[in-house]
Amino acid sequence: MVLDPPMAMDTDNCSAAFFPPTANRPVSSARAGLAGSMSNRKNEGWRGYGLGQADNKARQSVSTLLPTVFTINAGSNDSIQDFRIQNSGQRMADMLEYLSQASPTSSIILSTMLVNADKEVNSRVLRANDQLREPAKLKELNKRE
């Protein structure tokens, strides 16, 4: 599933939207901080990290914590710093592949990046967003085959 801005959700709304109480699906989170009012409100996120750095951190924790849901919003810092925008899609594809192999029963929710007020940065955000959608589309197509 890919979420495009401006569909912003806090952790409570996100959980309720994707896993309503009637879904009877257990949701566990493997996180370093606390957010929201849910009974399981722990989260692991890394502000200020680029896509590659977030991928490295995920690889350090996912295989042992095995979360059931991943919500990914990554790449904004790369766009701000003009860091390897041309291969954002491939880097995201690599991370998605790792996550799906390390925790095969998990759900992955991928968000594109928010628009940026700086026109130059925003042009990079838009280019990166186009690339970020592709791995998610391919993953979805592969699941159907």
According to DSSP H, which parts of the chain are helical?
11-18, 51-65, 76-81, 88-102, 119-144
DSSP secondary structure letter of residue 42: E
Q: Which of 106, 109, 107, 78 is nearest to 91 (CA)?
A: 78
pLDDT of 46 strictly over 90: no
What pLDDT score does 61 carry? 86
Render pLDDT for 33-43 as a digit per residue (tens, 0 to 9).
555 565 655 66
Contacts of 77 (CB under 8 A, 6+ apart): 48, 49, 50, 51, 83
Question: Among the ranges 17-26, 49-58, 133-142, which has the highest mean pLDDT value?
Answer: 49-58
pLDDT > 70: percent of the chain: 69
The residues near 100 (Cβ < 8 Å, ≥ 6 apart) are 106, 108, 139
Residue 1 has pLDDT above 70, yes or no: no
What is the model's pLDDT at position 19?
A: 45
CB 89 within 8 A of CB 126: no
Domains and CATH numbers, the chain: 2-10+44-144 (3.40.50.1110)
| pLDDT tens readout for residues 91-110 | 999 999 999 899 888 888 88
Q: Residue 129's pLDDT is what?
A: 95
